[in-house]
Amino acid sequence: KAGVTQTPRYLIKTRGQQVTLSCSPISGHRSVSWYQQTPGQGLQFLFEYFSETQRNKGNFPGRFSGRQFSNSRSEMNVSTLELGDSALYLCASSPERGTDTQYFGPGTRLTVL
Amino acid sequence: SQQGEEDPQALSIQEGENATMNCSYKTSINNLQWYRQNSGRGLVHLILIRSNEREKHSGRLRVTLDTSKKSSSLLITASRAADTASYFCATDTGSARQLTFGSGTQLTVLP
């Protein structure tokens, strides 16, 4: 099976802009979670989607949002970008049953100038 | 916020030696997992241990869990240069899809 894919891999934006990141889970996986990784805060959970519904949400401002489509692909959006949003954004997928393991994609490196 | 801390923050050893990393967490957990990350890339799952388990093995990896001390350790035996990476522990307290990560240990294995 193909792994989790994320696009784009690298992105440069300026403050105030918005950005959309995409994640395609492993075939058959219906749960998609997003994480932000920064040198200062480490790895932090953003949100999780299952069957097109947000099931869990981390402690991030409303500028961070996401959605999931019927084919389980997910997007996350960050509006009004701030310098502090520069990070590696990781997406993970997992099946609903059989394992609690999450499988991570390679990440999208976002730089905000 | 991070669930806990890992120590050491950095570890440098020779190839063939064993590497031990420790993870402490703050709240009761369902599962604890260990992940590896190479140079800011994606995370690779290594092993999962449930709260009712005390020890688990997978190849050269051995994980222990002490829920009374809220701590876990990861042992990599006979390390190789390819083991050079950052290692993170991650816990979940309800949903296994919402992980809380430790701060990570940077392991360098010298050839």
The answer to whether the Cβ–Cβ distance between A55 and B100 falls below 8 Å is no
Closest CA in chain B for residue A99: B96
Closest CA in chain B for residue A39: B103
Q: Residue B40: pLDDT above 80?
A: no
Q: Which pLDDT belongs to residue A98?
A: 64
Distance CA A111, CA A113 (A): 6
Q: Residue B3: pLDDT above 70?
A: no
Measured in angstroms, the CA of A65 and the nearest CA of chain B are apart by: 16
* Cβ(A11)–Cβ(A86) below 8 Å: no
The answer to whether the Cβ–Cβ distance between A33 and B98 falls below 8 Å is yes
Q: Which pLDDT belongs to residue B4?
A: 67
Q: Which of A43, A48, A109 sits opposite B88 (nearest CB)?
A: A43
Q: Which pLDDT belongs to residue B39?
A: 84
Q: Residue A53: pLDDT above 50?
A: yes
Q: List phi, psi (to 5°) of A99.
A: -155, 150
Q: What is the pLDDT of residues B43-99, one digit of tens each?
A: 999 999 999 999 999 999 999 999 999 999 999 999 999 999 999 999 988 776 889
Measured in angstroms, the CA of B65 and the nearest CA of chain A are apart by: 17
CA B57 to chain centre: 13
Q: Residue A56: pLDDT above 70?
A: yes
Q: What is the mean pLDDT of chain B?
A: 92
Query: Across residues A69-84, what is the average pLDDT?
Result: 97
Measured in angstroms, the CA of B8 and the nearest CA of chain A are apart by: 16
Residue of B24, B20, B13 lying closest to B75 (CA atoms):
B20
State the pairing for strand pair B71-76/B100-101: unpaired
Distance CA B45, CA A73 (A): 21
How many CB atoms sit inside 10 A of residue B52's CB? 8
Q: Residue A43: pLDDT above 90?
A: yes
State the pairing for strand pair B105-110/B10-14: parallel
